[in-house]
Amino acid sequence: MYFSSFSQEWIDHCRSNALDLIERRKLGPESLVVELASNDGYLLKNFVEKGVPVLGIDPAPRQAAEAEKVGVHTLIDFFTRELAEQLKSEGVRADVMIGNNVLAHVADTHGFLVGIHTLLRDDGIAVIEAPYLRSLIEHCEFDTIYHEHLCYFSVTAVDRLLRRHGLFLNDVRRLPTHGGSIRYYIEKHEDPSESLQQILNEEECLGIDSSIYYDGFAKQVQKIRDDLRTVVCGLKADGKRIAAYGAAAKGTIMLNSAGLDNRVIEYVVDRNTHKHGWFMPGVHIEIFPVEKLLENMPDYVVMLPWNFSSEILKQQSEFRQRGGKFIIPIPEVHIV
């Protein structure tokens, strides 16, 4: 039920990326931008508005239907090597290929990259965003580890992986999105930037390709889980009423790992209308519209999508002015 368009912060982030690519790549009516896992057209619509032809590829029919409504033609399918070969045989070639937060979801990573190489023009560029392994470890973002995410990449790993398929990582940008992400700029020729070399050197110094780098992660995870449970259960014991914000996948992991179910958390609110009336898996907490916070005024709200904390705190300024407080679990449990 994930629809990208329910986060304004994410929408703004993606629009900036689209406008930057239009300018840098001089895209126009003769160009083609292909997005892999295009969801509801949240990103490609920015190219459509500028007269740049697009093709979205996404296996989810409901999201694809929403994309079509904003002029984003969407092929309902998974992107694979076979699909790329089929599209190429039909004359489809991409000047720009985009994949936001999809690389970690791909079961056949090698086939996915072969598909990019197949569909991308020789002078084209693929721009892929993914959670950054270094941020995950440093900030103990364990709640982003769940069944949809099969791989977490360092820049070193991506650089080596791409070379196996005739692709080259030429530039990177570290981003604050989703708790710390990387945007990879990939081409069919090698032309590495200073920024890329710097981050590769940093990873080498950290020993990110060694098991030693990951020592202590499990202890950090346990501390956050214990601290969150202690804080929330302590407040509950004091008679405080507690809700949660954001029925995100990471929220399911956080609540289940900390053992916070409907006996402790009264309800969850979310802006995504498609989730209302459903329940958080495992903890059986019902999901309501965000307006319920002001109507019901719990004392505390556990912020599950902490990666959007700045946006959520702004949205909920009236709730906070009335005395409501948020409990943010990552990178360490704190109350605001």
Model pLDDT for residues 68-122, shown as the tens digit of each residue: 999 999 999 999 999 999 999 999 999 999 999 899 899 999 999 999 999 999 9
pTM (2 d.p.): 0.84
Model pLDDT for residues 286-332, shown as the tens digit of each residue: 999 999 999 999 999 999 999 889 989 999 999 999 999 999 999 99
Model pLDDT for residues 164-208, shown as the tens digit of each residue: 999 999 999 999 887 789 999 999 999 999 999 999 999 999 999
The long-range contacts involving 207-213, CB below 8 angstroms and separated by at least 24 positions, are 208/133, 208/134, 208/154, 208/156, 209/154, 209/156, 209/157, 213/137
What pLDDT sits at residue 7?
A: 65
- CA 73 from centre of chain: 22
List the domains of the chain with CATH numbers: 4-214 (3.40.50.150), 222-335 (3.40.50.720)
Residue 275 has pLDDT above 60, yes or no: yes
Q: Which amino acid is at 35?
A: E
What pLDDT sits at residue 270?
A: 96
What pLDDT sits at residue 10?
A: 79
Return the closest-CA partner of residue 261 out of 206, 302, 223, 291: 302
Model pLDDT for residues 128-155, shown as the tens digit of each residue: 999 999 999 999 999 999 888 889 999 9
What pLDDT sits at residue 164?
A: 97
DSSP for 79-137, written as a single string: --HHHHHHHHHTT--EEEEEEES-GGG-S-HHHHHHHHHHHEEEEEEEEEEEEBHHHHH
Q: What angle do CA 92, 42, 6 make, to 5 degrees?
A: 155
> CB–CB of 232/252 below 8 Å?
no
> CB–CB of 210/137 below 8 Å?
no
Tokens of 151: 């791989």
What pLDDT sits at residue 163?
A: 98
Distances, alpha carbon 140 to alpha carbons 148, 218, 245, 248, 258, in Å: 18, 9, 20, 17, 15
Average pLDDT, the chain: 94
Residue 4 has pLDDT above 80, yes or no: no
Residue 211 has pLDDT above 60, yes or no: yes
> CB–CB of 255/244 below 8 Å?
yes
What pLDDT sits at residue 6?
A: 54
